[in-house]
Structure 1
Amino acid sequence: MSNTFDVRVGSTVSFDGFLCTVIEIAGDAVVLVDGTKKTRRLRLVELLRDASNVSGAPSAEPALAPLALAWADATDEQRDEARRKAGHVRELRTGFVSGMPKLALPHEPRAEYDAQLADIHERRRSKAAELGITVKTLKRWEERFDEGEDLALLDFRKTAWTPALSGLDPRWVDMCRRVVEENVRGAKRTVTATLAIVLARLKRDYPGDDVRIPSDSAARAAVAELTRGKGTFGASMRAQRSIETRPPVPYGRLVATRPGEYVVLDTTPLNVFGVAPVTGKWMRAELTVALDLYDRSILGLRLAPVSTKAVDVAGVLMEALAPRELPAEWGERASWPFHGVPENIVIDVENLKALRFRRPGILPDTIIIDHGKPFMSIHVASVCQRLGISIQPAHVYTGTDKAWVERWFGTIDEMLQELPGYKGKDIASRGEAPESEAVYTIPQLEQIIREWIATVYHLRPHGGLVDSQLPAARMSPAQKFEQGIAVAGRIRVPTNPNLLLEMLPVVKRKFNHYGVEIGTLRYNGDIVGKYYDRSRAMAKDKRKWQFSVNPDDFSQIYFNDPDDNSWHVL
């Protein structure tokens, strides 16, 4: 079999799906003409880019496994056998086992293999008699030697690849696979119980057929092969369900080229109990964060009691879109980089999603779906649209779509283990009464997390921050941010910062002569004198005025004057 092809004038080659004829070769370029008489000039590198199809004619011989791979898979004994055969072929052809007179052994060439004393036929007969094989077998050795020398003389019957499970009854394998797949949503079983269920179902589904049942050791090996990488009998059921949602193809890679290009939002239950500030009772909390993909910096976060609401998501986005002053007690090295307005936000469609109105005239603050997850309110999505921010949903129950923030949740959990009230990742990791150890309120826990991010996380080297130009450099999120800004040379900021106020939740109240009352708090400002004796509209349900409230700062509220759409602080 020839493994070469001559590209010369008159040769037929395949290019761009057409059979073409070479009409000229000039240096490293060729000129082709196709069946429509269209000519084109190409460099040889373009023509040979798909070398497997350059000859223009399909090979009549089946493709063989690469010899180098077969050699790597062979045992030492099989390689020694191939070298021995190759030495015999070289000796009968040249008189020397090495094939070269300069590397001749002391007794070489032997008289029966000396080319000056015996012709090739006599040498073949002598070698066949020496090895106790036929001349025909020796000729086959020579043919294979011409294809690849030592490598081609391997015994491919012993090195041939055999697919796993190929020797088992397909019906048994199929039933075993179905039982394993069904068990992902159920309780964990042992291998023994799984094999018993498989046997029972085979008897039920194939009562008259003789299904070959493998031995116990072979069956267990087959089950191990079917469940490889799935954690069926070792991992928790939660981990198994997570593995099941993995994409069937290798993971892609979302690459950010500058800070603020991609921001990932996600929510997770916090594995530490907090204390309610008023009642003093322990309570759970959920952490929502916005993480920049380029430098892994945390742009905003919110710790919400019990569960996350749409207002918490809005607070995280507002924090990510506005620069932040850090407390002086955190020290000069504390870092919380401002990344500007992001171009893309990746969200979990089960956690954060734009919603529709439940009924005309009502804008809900949050909707709880059957999975118990809050949705992003539509006014937040509207502000993102006006700022040019693209909201990209992640796949449902697919943690790999937002693996960076999932990994960060693991990092923050390591820090939380040092706090009183830590309850562990699951029931199996929980202490006797972790809720009785809780001493920090929810706001205090949030402050602890913020300080740790600014003084520890943003300043220490991050294993995922690698620069292809500096592969040995270890950078922190703050250093990676500085490098990204130096390379990109820009930060996108909103032209109207007041636009961010539209993300805040809206409450409706009256203008009284003493100001605006929300709960037990009263707010006052210059704008009160303009509207305190006026209703917003004559309709009964539209008489109250609208005020935007920041849940993180109750010291002031915001009012938009409908006369000129200017914002006022009360």
Structure 2
Amino acid sequence: MKTVRLFDMLSYDGQTWQVVAQDGPELALKELISGRIHKIGVAELLGDESFLPDVPDRLPQLDSAAVLETLGPAGRERVLFLRRHVVEVLTGRPPADIDGLDEDSPTPIRREYDSRLPLKDRIAAKVAELAAAKTPVGQRSLERYIKAYREDGVAGLVDGRAQRQSSPTGRIDPALASLIEDAVRAQTNISTGTRSRVIKQVSLEASQLGLPLPSRSTLYRAVQNLEKSRHPFGNATTRRTQANRPDRTWGRQAPSRPGELTEVDSTPMDLMVIYPDGLTGRVDLTLMLDVATRTLCSAILRPIATKSVDAAVLLARALTPLPMQPGWNRSVSFSRSILPAGMIDGDDEIRTSVAAKPVIVPESITVDRGKVYVGSTFLNACERLQISVTKAAPRTPTDKPHVERVFAAINSGFTQYLAGYVGPNVVNRGKAPDSEAMWTLAELQNLLDLWIVAVWQNKPHPGLRHPAMPKRDLTPNEAYAALASVAPTVNVALDRDDYIGLLPVTYRSIQGYGINFESLHYDHPSLHPYRGVKSGLPLPANGKWEVRYDPYRLQSIYIRDHFRGEWIEAEWSLAKQSLAPFSLDVLRAARTAVQKRGESPSGVDVLAEISRIQTGGARTVKEHRAAKRDSVNKPVVPPFSPTVEQAAADATEESLATVAAISTAHISPRLRAARRIDDEDEE
């Protein structure tokens, strides 16, 4: 507490002053060295950080004013009893706020407690009075109470034993407590054990150091008190999660405009899919989330660990509407032709959902420190688009909590309804989810894209509220409309050339037949003037031509004509015979399958193998017959792309489950799953 009075000496603004006059709320200060006068308000002086009195504060501290509220009934009664008699010894009268005494008619001063008598005589009289009342208090004790009351007020009369603070480890040796703390902390990354294991380890270390050991029950109590919230003897997953919590106050990011803060992360999806080589396994899901609106800007699935090129393609897809992405319309049309009827909506419904999803240009992206995001491809793309990249702390998922939560929401709202769902952990896993896998990677990618634009973007989110409607949860589309009207953003969408510029790069020569890329021939009439001609580009091109390719849609590649400043789209020579756009993984799996049969990987054979992989055909006659027998029993999954109106009405997880039940109710039990185009009788 700071105070200032007339004629006080004080330090202010680095100088020594004396208060020489006061006029209402204004003080006159005189500098002792120069003698100049400075006028300042009392409130301004007391609030200035440079103000320091030259003498200690005359007013007592008030932090113990509520000490009576911290005591139990017995302790409170004892303190009030002592206060009555101590005050009477000091002032001659008991306190007016107890025993029903009236301040307007004070109790007369008794002769033995007259303040004109020596204090020792008054103390002796009080000791005799208390002894006669059979509530004895010793003279030395009463003297201590009087001294404590003068220094600390009522708090000085409290029994110190009632205020004594206990240690988490009791009275054991501090060195032994340090051993216990280290042993409990070491449980984070090892398999779960019991407290007895820790106690035996600590006992062994203490005996080697010559430290005294308390009883076993005391050690158990010390271990329990030092566990805190680490869960050292619970589930290992919970223990590691608790260890990742930051050792600071938790904050909450609240961006006020779309694109101000986005988060990117990858995680294995809880679903078994059919790989291009026919095997089954899980896929990696990479997401970009806008925090302000909870919009899922883009999502990419990969059958193996995500590579650095995927992060750049993720950024390109976030800035390009789905219909403008090369090959997307054709891929969706193919998926609609082979999936159960009604699972993918018509073009008009899809167009409506896609048009409602905003294209958000990120200003800042928070990523982890994986090789995916610290590679030159992704960082150079962000630098080119003037996007700042923030790297999260190592092993700290709480630095990007929003996108981590979205993974769980995708599991509950999308993944769990698909055949091959494995659950979040082995405890919740089915008997054989790998045998239930029926989705190819391309089918799953299309389903996820359509689910995002039709369901997620129209699902009310509890974290999205508008000040004008604080009780209503907004959808991501509604949140974008509300924020964009207050803080308009730059509406940007990548055109064809910009999208190509973010694709992976390689270098190839232009031959008479065109360009050989991954053993496929690509050609275009615009390449005719450059056949057999070197590009003139330095290393690493070394005279070859710059080629860009989309690793997920390889029906075309793009050659940069640096003389004319344009991109030439060269199409695969057999692209018109292909069923749908195919990925680089599908191409390599098809070429490997042809080579295993002892055949040369010609274009026609590779095309046939790509078509077989895309339609989910079996690799052998035996597998083909088994797949045909099981096709009747394949589960039919309900649609995941309702219209915008349906999605807004059926936003919650419970209603999504109801939609699934209603969607399957009208399907005849005898209806077979969609027939693959290569399902032919082998007999």
TM-score (norm 2): 0.67
Deviation at 1:568, TM superposition (A): 3.9
Deviations 1:266-324 (A, max 9, x none): 11111211112x44431211111111232332211111112211222112111223344
Which deviates the most, 312-321 or 505-514?
505-514
Q: Output the CA distance in 1 between the equivalents of 2:56 and 2:307.
A: 63
SS of 2:265's partner is strand
- From the superposition, tell whether residues 154 and 385 of structure 1 become closer, same or farther in structure 2 (CA, over 3 Å): same
Structure 1 partner of 2:368: 348
Residue 64 of structure 2 corresponds to: 67
Amino acid at match of 1:339: I
With over 3 angstroms needed to count, the CA separation of the structure-2 counterparts of 1:136 and 1:492, relative to structure 1, is farther
Q: Residues 91 and 99 of structure 1 are in contact (CA less than 8 Å); yes or no, is this contact kept in structure 2? A: no
Determine the C-alpha separation between the residues in 2 that align with 1:422 and 1:174: 46
Distance 2:82 2:205 in 1: 52
Superposed counterparts of 1:109-120, under 5 Å = 114-115=108-109, 119-120=114-115
Map of 1:8-407 to 2, 5 A cutoff?
8=6, 10-13=8-11, 21-22=18-19, 44-49=42-47, 54-57=52-55, 66-67=63-64, 70-71=67-68, 73-89=70-86, 93=91, 98-99=96-97, 104=102, 114-115=108-109, 119-120=114-115, 127-128=126-127, 129-130=129-130, 131-134=135-138, 137-138=141-142, 141=145, 150=154, 153-165=157-169, 167-206=171-210, 211-236=211-236, 238-276=237-275, 278-325=276-323, 328-330=348-350, 332=352, 335-340=356-361, 342-354=362-374, 376=375, 378-407=376-405
**Other-structure match for 1:361:** none
Offset from partner CA, 1:12-33 (integer Å, 9 cap, x none): 0455x76555567666566767
Contact preservation (8 Å) 1:91, 1:98 = no
2:545 corresponds in structure 1 to 545
Alpha-carbon distance between aligned partners in 2 of 1:48 and 1:473, rounded to the nearest angstrom:
46
Give the 3-state SS of the residue equivalent to 2:463 in structure 1.
Answer: coil
Distance, in Å, in 2 between the alignment partners of 1:471 and 1:36 is 61
Aligned partner of residue 183 in structure 1, secondary structure: coil
Give distance in 1, aligned partners of 2:29 and 2:478. 54
Secondary structure of the equivalent of 2:97? coil
Q: How far off its partner does 1:491 sit?
A: 2.3
Superposition deviation, residue 391 in structure 1 = 1.7
Task: Give 1:346's aligned amino acid.
Answer: T
Does the 8 A contact of 2:280 with 2:437 survive in 1?
yes
Q: Amino acid of the residue matched to residue 431 of structure 2?
A: E
382 and 219 in structure 1: CA distance in 2 versus 1, 3 angstrom threshold: same
Greater alpha carbon shift after TM alignment, 255-264 vs 143-152: 143-152
Aligned partners of 2:286 and 2:98: how far apart in 1? Answer: 74
Q: Distance in 1 between matches of 2:30 and 2:81?
A: 50
Q: Say which SS state the counterpart of residue 358 (structure 2) adopts.
A: coil
Distance 1:313 1:39 in 2: 68
Equivalent AA in structure 1 for residue 490 of structure 2? I
Deviations 1:490-543 (A, max 9, x none): 226489873443321123334455654545766554532442353324999734
Question: What CA distance in whole angstroms lies between the structure 2 residues aligned with 1:200 and 1:27?
Answer: 73
1:233 Cα deviation after fit: 0.8
Name the CA distance, whole Å, in 2 between partners of 1:41 and 1:451. 72
Q: Distance in 1 between matches of 2:554 and 2:149?
A: 86
Q: Is the 8 A contact 1:285 1:303 kept in 2?
A: yes
Q: 1:479 to 1:8 in 2, by over 3 A?
A: farther
> Partner of 2:400: helix, strand, or coil?
helix
Correspondence list, 1:461-480, <5 A: 461-465=460-464, 472-480=471-479
CA 1:168–1:468 in 2, change beyond 3 Å: closer, same or farther?
farther
Go from structure 1 to structure 2 and tell me whether the alpha carbon gap of 1:385 and 1:155 turns closer, same or farther (over 3 Å shift): same
Contact 1:269 1:285 (C-alpha < 8 Å) held by counterparts = yes
Counterparts of 1:149 and 1:430 in 2: how far apart (Å)?
66
Indicate the larger mover: 252-261 or 136-145: 136-145
> What amino acid maps onto 1:225 in structure 2?
N
In the TM superposition, residue 167 of structure 1 has moved relative to its aligned partner by 1.6
Q: Given the superposition, is the C-alpha separation of residues 50 and 433 from structure 1 closer, same or farther in structure 2, using an over 3 Å criterion? A: farther
Answer yes or no: is the 8 Å Cα contact 2:510–2:532 preserved in 1.
yes
Counterpart amino acid of residue 321 in structure 1: L
Deviation at 1:228, TM superposition (A): 0.8
Q: Is the 8 A contact 2:320 2:494 kept in 1?
A: no
Deviation at 1:203, TM superposition (A): 1.4
| Structure 2 residue aligned with 1:528 | 527
Of 512-521 and 212-221, the range deviating more from structure 2: 512-521
Could you tell me how far apart the structure 1 residues matched to 2:366 and 2:157 are? 56
Which residue matches 1:508? 507
Deviation of 1:41 (Å): 7.0
Work out whether residues 506 and 546 of structure 1, in 8 Å CA contact, stay in contact via their aligned partners in 2.
yes
Report which of the two structures shows the higher radius of gyration computed on alpha carbons. 2
Tell me the amino acid that sits aligned with residue 338 of structure 1: V
Point out the more displaced range, 217-226 or 331-340.
331-340
- Measured at CA, do residues 116 and 255 of structure 1 come closer, stay the same or move farther in structure 2, by a change above 3 Å? same
Residue pair 1:350, 1:396 contacting (<8 A) in 2 also: no
What RMSD, in angstroms, separates the aligned Cα atoms of the two structures? 4.0
- TM-score normalized by structure 1? 0.79
Give the structure 1 partner of residue 483 of structure 2.
484
User: Where is the helix percentage greater, Structure 1 or Structure 2?
Assistant: 2
CA offset digits 1:173-224 (Å, max 9, x no partner):
1222222333333322210011011111111232xxxx33232232122112
Are the aligned partners of 1:267 and 1:286 in contact in 2 as well (CA < 8 Å)? Answer: yes
Distance in 1, matches of 2:466 and 2:385, equals: 30
- Is 1:31–1:39's contact at 8 Å kept on the other side of the alignment? yes
| Counterpart code for 1:336 | K
On the 8 A contact 2:274/2:441 being kept in 1, the answer is: yes
8 A Cα contact 1:462 1:476, kept in partner? yes
Aligned partners of 2:58, 2:93: CA distance in 1, in Å?
36
Q: Give the AA of the match of 1:348.
A: D
- Distance in 1 between residues matched to 2:95 and 2:537, nearest whole Å: 109
**Per the alignment, do residues 543 and 101 of structure 1 end up closer, same or farther by CA in structure 2, a change over 3 Å counting?**
closer
Q: Give the aligned residue type for 2:423.
A: G
* Aligned AA (1:395): A
Residue 363 of structure 2 aligns to which amino acid in structure 1? Answer: E
Q: Distance in 1 between matches of 2:66 and 2:568?
A: 74
Q: Aligned with 1:458: secondary structure?
A: helix
Cα contact 1:22–1:30 (8 A) shared by 2: yes
Counterpart residue type for residue 201 of structure 2: I
Asked if 2 retains the 8 angstrom alpha-carbon contact of 1:9 and 1:25, the reply is no
**Count of residue pairs the alignment pairs up:** 532
- Structure 1 residues 168, 116: CA separation in 2 closer, same or farther (over 3 Å shift)? closer
Q: Which amino acid aligns with 2:364?
A: N
Judge conservation of contact 1:383–1:502 (CA < 8 Å) in 2: no
The answer to whether the 8 A contact 2:273-2:441 is kept is: yes
Deviation at 1:101, TM superposition (A): 10
* 1:181–1:448 CA distance, 2 compared to 1 (3 A): same
Structure 1: unaligned runs, 5 residues or longer: 355-375
